[in-house]
Amino acid sequence: MMRDRVRLALVLPDLLGTYGDRGNVLVLAQRLKWRNIDSETVTVLSDSDSVPESCDLYMIGGGEDVAQVAAVRFLHRGPGLRRAVERGSPVLGICGGLQVLGTSFVTGDGVRHAGLGAVDADTEPGSGRAIGEVTTQSTLGGVGMLTGFENHLGRTRVGPGSQPLGRVTRGTGNGHDDAEGAVRGHVVCTYLHGPVLARNPKLADLLLEWAIGEPLEPLPDPPELRALRAERTRMHVRNRK
């Protein structure tokens, strides 16, 4: 039975909200509204006691080194997010959120910090920033090609306990093995901004289906999004030649 209300958690937007990734929560709420499903957004700020473990879907955005360190310290203090992951609640981590949810990340001062370990992924600084459009063929069934914009210094290596979200066909992605992002269970991490769910509604609906526990009726894509994806598909084809 479909639940009456879906609780969406926006985690630490005051620390990890540099690139407008809170827009992903707006996308999720709107796609639920179009299906006449109520939602509630629970915003967890850095002065909160902890992350509630009772939400249905969690979103963590991107930020710089100092913000990531503060965020991971906050998240280590309470068990809420870890328990939600163990229960199978979907989590979306973007850019810095990917690194915080990973096994470890190294900041610009050379210090290694323990992540949440929700995905098996280690991040170290690269020699230069990866900036620009990305296309990647998703490993998640039914999602297909993902597009987005990347802006990050980190280079992330996915370990055997996880799989990449996709294989890069244009852009840098993780910077290792043509991989982009990391997935374990219902935890999905990516470097793609855009916001990523606005540009990739199939991924948004997959996360919602995981949260609700049953399939959703498909929605038509707006013409602007169809035009954008057609353009990115042409770029994808040219890059493969």
* Residue 236 among the catalytic residues: no
- Separation between Cα atoms, residue 229 and residue 235, nearest integer Å: 10
From 55, 189, 193, 236, active-site residue: 193
For residue range 153-211, list pLDDT tens digits in order. Answer: 999 999 999 999 999 999 999 999 999 999 999 999 999 999 999 999 999 999 999 99
* Residue 186 among the catalytic residues: no
For residue range 15-46, list pLDDT tens digits in order. Answer: 999 888 999 999 999 999 999 999 999 999 99
Are the C-beta atoms of residues 176 and 155 closer than 8 Å to each other?
yes
**Which burial class, exposed, middle or buried, applies to 148 when counting CB atoms under 10 A from its CB (0-12, 13-18, 19+)?**
buried
For residue range 81-102, list pLDDT tens digits in order. Answer: 999 999 999 999 999 999 999 9
pLDDT score, position 221: 79
Flag whether pLDDT at 241 surpasses 80.
no
Please give the helix or strand (H or E) that residue 94 lies within, else none. strand 91-94
Strands 104-106 and 121-138: parallel
For residue range 45-63, list pLDDT tens digits in order. Answer: 999 999 999 999 999 999 9
From 95, 152, 186, 189, active-site residue: 95
